[in-house]
A and B are shown apart, each in its own frame.
Chain A
Amino acid sequence: MAMKISQQKFNERLSSNLENDFMRGAVAGAQHRFQTRRSAAVDSLNWEEWRNHGEEIRQHVLENLDYYLYELSTNVEARGGHVFFAQTAEEATEYISTIAKQKNAKKIVKAKSMVTEEINLNSHLEQLGCEVIETDLGEYILQLDDHDPPSHIVTPALHKNKDQIREVFEQKIGYTASSQPEELALHARKVLREHYLTADIGITGCNFAVAETGSVCLVTNEGNADLVTALPKTQISVMGMERLVPTFEEMEVLVGMLTRSAVGQKLTSYITVLTGIKEALEVDGPEEFHLVIVDNGRSSILGGEFQSILQCIRCAACINTCPVYRHVGGHTYGSIYSGPIGAVLSPLLGGYDDYKELPYASTLCGACTDVCPVKIPLHQLLHKHREVIVEREGRAPISESLLMQAFGMGTSSQSIYKLGTKVASTVMKPFTKNEKITNGPGPLKNWTTYRDFPSLQKERFRDWFEQHNKGGKSK
Chain B
Amino acid sequence: MIKNREPFLQTVAARLGRSTPSLTKPERNWKHLPQHEVLKDASMEELIEVLREQCLNIHTTLKKCTKQQLPEILNETIVDYGGGRVIYSNDPRFGVLNVLPVFEQFEHLKWQSGNGERNIDFAEQANVGVVISNVTLAESGTIMLQASPEVGRTISFLPENSIAVIPKSSIVPRMTQAAQFLREQSHVSSCINFITGPSNSADIEMNLVVGVHGPVRMTYILVEDY
A interface residues, Cβ below 8 angstroms from B: 26, 29-30, 33, 45-46, 49-50, 52-53, 56-57, 60, 63-67, 69-71, 73-74, 77, 79, 82-87, 91, 95, 135-138, 141, 155-158, 161-162, 165, 181-182, 184-186, 188-189, 192-193, 196-197, 212-213, 215, 221-224, 226-227, 229-231, 241, 246-253, 255-256, 263, 265-285, 293, 295, 299-300, 302-304
Contacts and interface: CB of A to CB of B under 8 A. Distances in A.
A66 B192 CA distance: 27
B195 A269 contact: yes
Contacts of B175: 252, 255-256, 267
Given A248-B182, A282-B147, A283-B119, A192 B204 contact: no
Specify which of B4, B8, B37, B137 lies most central, judged by the most chain A CB atoms within 10 Å of its CB: B8
Interface of B: 1-5, 7-9, 11-13, 15-18, 21-26, 28, 30-35, 37-38, 54, 58, 111, 113, 115-117, 119-120, 124, 137, 139-142, 147-149, 152-154, 157-158, 174-176, 178-180, 182-183, 188-207, 209, 211-215
Contacts of B34: 45-46, 49-50, 52-53
A175 B118 CA distance: 31
Contacts of A69: 5, 8-9, 12
Given A137-B203, A138-B203, A269 B209 contact: no
Contacts of B137: 267
B200 A285 contact: no
A391 B1 CA distance: 46
Contact of B194 (A135, A138, A157, A267): A267
A283 B31 contact: no
A419 B1 CA distance: 75
5 contacts: A60-B28, A181-B205, A249-B176, A250-B28, A284-B154
A157 B205 CA distance: 8
Contact of B22 (A67, A222, A241): A67
A269 B197 contact: yes
Nearest to A228: B213
A269 B202 contact: no
Given A221-B202, A222-B199, A227-B214, 16 more contacts: A50-B32, A64-B26, A66-B16, A66-B22, A79-B190, A227-B154, A247-B179, A272-B193, A273-B192, A274-B190, A279-B190, A282-B149, A283-B117, A285-B147, A285-B153, A285-B191
Nearest to B200: A221
Contacts of A79: 190
A351 to B, nearest CB: 18
Contact of B11 (A184, A277, A299): A299
B4 A215 contact: no
B113 A56 contact: no
A378 to B, nearest CB: 21
B33 A284 contact: no
B120 A67 contact: no
B197 A293 contact: no
Nearest to B155: A284
B214 A278 contact: no
Contacts of A56: 30-32
A181 B204 contact: yes
Contacts of B154: 226-227, 230-231, 284
Nearest to A210: B188
